[in-house]
């Protein structure tokens, strides 16, 4: 007599079960992004900023978790883009409009529309380019990513909540400038570091972990100061990424040219 088969399984073998976790994180990010608009409506801008930052952290985790557990899917890819559109396109635009751009009247609303459209174009281009053969270009984004853009347009608001504001700043001028520059960076082909493929030596791992703990510790104690400094550092890294990209591009082109010359010599 054969023993009865145990048909009960905690985790089914189908891939559909593995996509639940990353998609759930993505949907949570949507909820947090929309909640930031609610905070802005109530004038609680500090909570709105924190909500956007949490949404950005979740956006960085869901894709990595999906790849780690092999739970990637086409639905998750499209859902992630829609989440970015809401959390880093619509939500920051509304937050800044309620805070300062509404004082500019129709011009302020036009600036918001331009930014949101640029985020949509950036995400559409990213989806089209995804899936190409791996290359050295995978270390760079084409244009500034939407989560970084969402934080950059919030930088004037974040800076106004820090202890750094010593001189009087005319935010009616600074805010539109940040919106226009960020919108151009989103749709441009300016290379920016993707930080997806970072090789860390084993001997420096402990220092990296210490740095991460220190960063998040300071973020909990001085959230807006740390976010402001991080945004300034990110803007400073952009020129470095551009020159690094140009250097790698030249090396790659020289290598290909040398290979072509070697092929011609072999033929002759």
Average pLDDT over residues 83-108: 93
How is the chain split among helix, strand and coil, in percent rounded to 5?
75, 0, 20
**Residues paired with residue 191 on neighbouring β-strands, in sequence order:** 142
Distances (CA, A) of 95 to 85, 121, 153, 183, 211: 14, 21, 10, 16, 31
Q: Domains of the chain: which residue ranges? A: 15-259
What average pLDDT is seen over the chain? 82
92 near 266, Cβ under 8 Å?
no
pLDDT at residue 177 is higher than 80? yes
Helix (H) or strand (E) run with residue 141 in it? strand 140-142
- For 15-259, the fitting CATH number among 3.40.50.720, 2.40.50.140, 3.40.50.150, 1.20.120.1760 is 1.20.120.1760
- pTM summary value: 0.82
Give the residue among 156, 118, 142, 147 at the shortest CA–CA distance from 191: 142
Give the residue among 94, 103, 102 at the shortest CA–CA distance from 38: 94
pLDDT at residue 16 is higher than 80? no
Question: For 197-232, what is each residue's pLDDT tens digit?
Answer: 666 677 778 888 888 899 889 888 988 999 999 999
The confidence score (pLDDT) of residue 199 equals 65
Other residues' Cβ atoms within 10 Å of the Cβ of residue 138: 12
Task: Give phi and psi for 192, each to the nearest 5.
Answer: -130, 145
């Amino acid at each position: 007599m054969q023993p009865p088969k145990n048909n009960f399984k905690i985790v089914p073998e189908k891939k559909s079960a593995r996509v639940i976790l990353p998609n759930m994180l993505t949907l949570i990010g949507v909820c947090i992004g929309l909640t930031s608009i609610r905070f802005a409506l109530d004038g609680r801008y500090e909570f709105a900023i924190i909500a956007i930052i949490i949404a950005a952290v979740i956006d960085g985790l869901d894709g990595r978790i999906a790849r780690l557990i092999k739970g990637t899917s086409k639905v998750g890819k499209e859902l992630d883009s829609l989440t970015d559109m809401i959390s880093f396109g619509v939500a920051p635009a509304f937050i800044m409009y309620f805070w300062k751009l509404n004082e500019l009247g129709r011009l302020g609303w036009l600036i918001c529309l331009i930014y949101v459209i640029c985020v949509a174009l950036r995400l559409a281009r990213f989806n089209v380019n995804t899936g190409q053969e791996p290359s050295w270009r995978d270390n760079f984004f084409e244009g500034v990513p939407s989560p970084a853009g969402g934080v950059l347009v919030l930088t004037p608001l974040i800076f106004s909540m820090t202890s750094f504001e010593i001189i009087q700043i005319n935010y009616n001028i600074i805010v539109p400038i940040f919106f226009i520059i960020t919108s151009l960076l989103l749709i441009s082909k300016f290379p920016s570091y993707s930080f997806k493929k970072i090789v860390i030596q084993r001997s420096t791992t402990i220092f990296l972990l210490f740095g991460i703990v220190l960063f998040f510790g300071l973020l909990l104690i001085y959230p807006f100061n740390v976010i402001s400094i991080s945004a300034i550092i990110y803007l400073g890294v952009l020129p470095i990424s551009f020159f690094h990209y140009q250097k790698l591009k030249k090396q790659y082109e020289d290598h290909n040219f040398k290979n072509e010359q070697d092929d011609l010599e072999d033929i002759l």
